[in-house]
Structure 1
Amino acid sequence: MRSKLETVIAPFEREGYRRAEPAILQPVEPFLDLSGEDIRRRIFLTQDDDGREWCLRPEYTIPVALAHIAAHASEPASYTYAGPVFRMRGANEPSEFAQAGLESFGRTDFAAADAEIMALTVESAAALGLTRPRLLMGDVALLTALLDRLGVPQAARRRLMRAVAQGKGADAVAALEPPAGEVEHAHAGLLKALEGQDPKAARAFVEDVLSIAGISTVGGRSAGDIAERFLARAAERDNPVNGEASGVIAHALAIGGDPDGASAALRKLADNAGLDLSAALDAFDERTGFLAARGVDVANISFSAGFARNLDYYTGFIFELHDPARPDLKPIAGGGRYDGVLQRLGAPAPVPAVGASLWLDRLAGGKA
């Protein structure tokens, strides 16, 4: 196994990525803060004598990011890692398994950094024999730009993103409509009280209501987070998504193919709808150019506007590598851009971040 780990990260170290070795035992709070209380069901927990909760390392990205923040690094930095991680996965998969990967923090040449991460991941997989992976790619930033231009309210946007993450593709557009009776009946009195208030006063009002009710956190969300949800729900009452916007979103989510063809189709859709997506699409095309320059066969990439990984985590391009010989369709590698994560973990300002992980038991066909 050690030789496989070294083989996988060799391309990363040649590129100048520095080896990171975070501790196996990690404080649980950062994982809960980013993933919510639900992650407790999938990680291995313990407590110290002071009652503080710890967990066996369920993945590497958060510990590596925390170490980067603690170092007060002011320059871009790139890290690689390889070792065991521990979490419950699907049936017939071990709960202790080997993970390797790479993370790049602080680079502002976004397209080049994105392409480097994906190209190195492809090269690393090839080092263990997967020379012709099935490549899937999406772009959260592109979808976000579309929703921004269409003025989709936050509550409807969250439902749509959740449906996209569930793999519903173009059918995810049905989630733009609130569940039957939700807006009219659930919390109707509170939503009515919020009408006409400015955002600051409305947030203070909701936080006061929650405080009176003795509510501080729900599912890992603070009172402020809950207040934002109520405000978004109230805004949706006044600004529902119309049929024309829903049609544009459904059309966009159905677009797929190689990156060049998908870009052309998205540009045509934007032009027909009178939407300016030029900045997001120019960045998309720039990344495609960098991928080609690094030797990635872009014609072999299957882009889908409706492809997603964890949309609360990723903020830009996302990708997965699959082994065509594996019938279960689980990815052997995956990653993308997550520019908001380091600030959520305590960095004083947003830090551009992109990375990827490889799961060696899947790369080795379950024999690693």
Structure 2
Amino acid sequence: MPASRASIETVIALFAGEGYAHAEPAILQPADVFLDLSGEDIRRRIFMTQDADGRDWCLRPEYTIPVALDHIASGKTEPAAYAYAGPVFRMRASEPGEFLQAGLESFGRDDFTAADAEIMALTIDATAMLGLAEPRIVMGDVAVLGGLLDGLNVPQGARRRLVRAVVQGKGADAVDALDPPAADGEAAHAGLLKALEGQDPKAARAFVEDVLSIAGISTVGGRSAADIAERFLARAAERENPVNGDVKALLAQVLAVSGDPDAASASLRALADQASLDIGRQLDAFDERTGFLAARGVDIGAIRFSAGFARNLDYYTGFIFELHDTARGDGKPVAGGGRYDNVLGRLGASRPLPAVGASLWLDRLTGDAA
């Protein structure tokens, strides 16, 4: 049996034993859903084609979205769990564009922290079965940072820049991104920005769209009038409510928190209390997840939590993690995943569905080619 087939069967058998049904979505997928969820920069990395009607299609660049689409199409309303393994197609620096990926997805469970722990524990078990007994485990929690940003009333534009900087690995230095960039034409737009300050968001959005319509502007650089309106609103909000030095200092301290989950939780609680911020719900869930991980036999002391860790897909909404092989010199993960509760709704599910999952790069784990 070829090594690649053996790896696939090993992983699928492990996940099937835990109740995960084998999913095999089509290799050819509609491209628009990946562009909508992952951003336009993924266009450069996926293999695209067009059908006779001009609709864009792509070779499956990953499994999560195709599995989610198939689940929605099935009409199932009860919680469901899926496992998969097979080839995916995506351009990667210094690595083949076709490679083997395996993973698992859990949809619809309302015991969120137990589901998170199950996904992470099974991913660790799978990497062990494929030969990586002691991975370096990195964990983060987007929900904790989101709760702090909510409590601090950080404007949306500044939030987006901060999260982008965190994803880029800037750690505590990511707070520098909270300062609005110098915008070309700021003086020319000062009157419009001033007019938007303090307005009801819905009315302000309609006002900007009307101004653009009167000027005969429908798109600029691929952005719609609605997109342009949102950017003006974000800039107006930052003029009205700039991020002050105390907020930056607190967020720098938060993003510097790292260590095992128990120690990190204590540090985050202390910082939140110091700033009179209530993120108890997020940290209670954090601690509960840690307990479920321990109950599943995961060595909590081997996990490094970092508040400044984020994965490069912006659809994650909570717990995130990566596993690394310390023998690899490129720093690329061999597995990773997290919670993405908004994705199925954005894909057309009739109601919001909690979701958590993980993927394993089999070529990085075993050297198996697709």
TM category, shorter = over 0.9
Matched, 1:357 2:352: no
Residues 275 and 53 (structure 1 numbering): CA distance in 2 closer, same or farther, change over 3 Å? same
Name the TM-score, length of structure 2 as normaliser: 0.95
Q: Return the letter of the residue paired with 1:105.
A: F
Matched, 1:286 2:288: yes
Deviates more, 1:297-306 or 1:204-213: 204-213
Q: Indicate conservation of the 8 Å contact 1:9/1:124, yes or no.
A: no
Q: Return the letter of the residue paired with 1:144.
A: G
Partner secondary structure for residue 106 of structure 2: strand
Please list, as runs of the form range in 1=range in 2, the aligned pairs for 1:322-337 lying within 5 A after superposition.
322-337=324-339
Deviates more, 1:345-354 or 1:204-213: 204-213
* Residue from 16, 21, 31 that aligns with 1:18: 21
Partner secondary structure for residue 88 of structure 2: strand
Q: 1:183 & 1:144 partners in 2: Cα distance?
A: 31
* Residue from 45, 58, 61 that aligns with 1:58: 61
* Aligned residue-pair number: 366
Matched, 1:9 2:12: yes
Q: 1:3 & 1:267 partners in 2: Cα distance?
A: 46
- 1:305-340 CA distance string (max 9 Å, x none): 000003521000100000011111100000000011
Q: 1:235 & 1:151 partners in 2: Cα distance?
A: 11
Q: 1:347 & 1:225 partners in 2: Cα distance?
A: 24
Residues 182 and 168 (structure 1 numbering): CA distance in 2 closer, same or farther, change over 3 Å? farther
Q: 1:202 & 1:209 partners in 2: Cα distance?
A: 11
- 1:154-198 CA distance string (max 9 Å, x none): 111111011001000000001111113569437434323323421
Q: Flag as ranges the 4+ runs of structure 1 deviating above 6 A.
A: none
Q: Indicate conservation of the 8 Å contact 2:99/2:369, yes or no.
A: no
Q: Return the letter of the residue paired with 1:293.
A: A
- Counterpart of 1:31 in structure 2 is 34
Q: Return the letter of the residue paired with 1:34.
A: L
Deviation at 1:366, TM superposition (A): 6.3
Please list, as runs of the form range in 1=range in 2, the aligned pairs for 1:260-299 lying within 5 A after superposition.
260-299=262-301
- Counterpart of 1:48 in structure 2 is 51
Deviates more, 1:299-308 or 1:198-207: 198-207
- Counterpart of 1:199 in structure 2 is 201
Q: Which runs of 5+ in 1 are unaligned?
A: none
Q: 1:335 & 1:99 partners in 2: Cα distance?
A: 13
- Counterpart of 1:84 in structure 2 is 87
- Counterpart of 1:303 in structure 2 is 305
- Counterpart of 2:187 in structure 1 is 185
Matched, 1:109 2:99: no
Deviation at 1:38, TM superposition (A): 1.9
Residues 186 and 140 (structure 1 numbering): CA distance in 2 closer, same or farther, change over 3 Å? farther
Q: 2:219 & 2:75 partners in 1: Cα distance?
A: 31
Name the TM-score, length of structure 1 as normaliser: 0.95
Residues 325 and 231 (structure 1 numbering): CA distance in 2 closer, same or farther, change over 3 Å? same
CA RMSD of aligned residues (A): 1.7
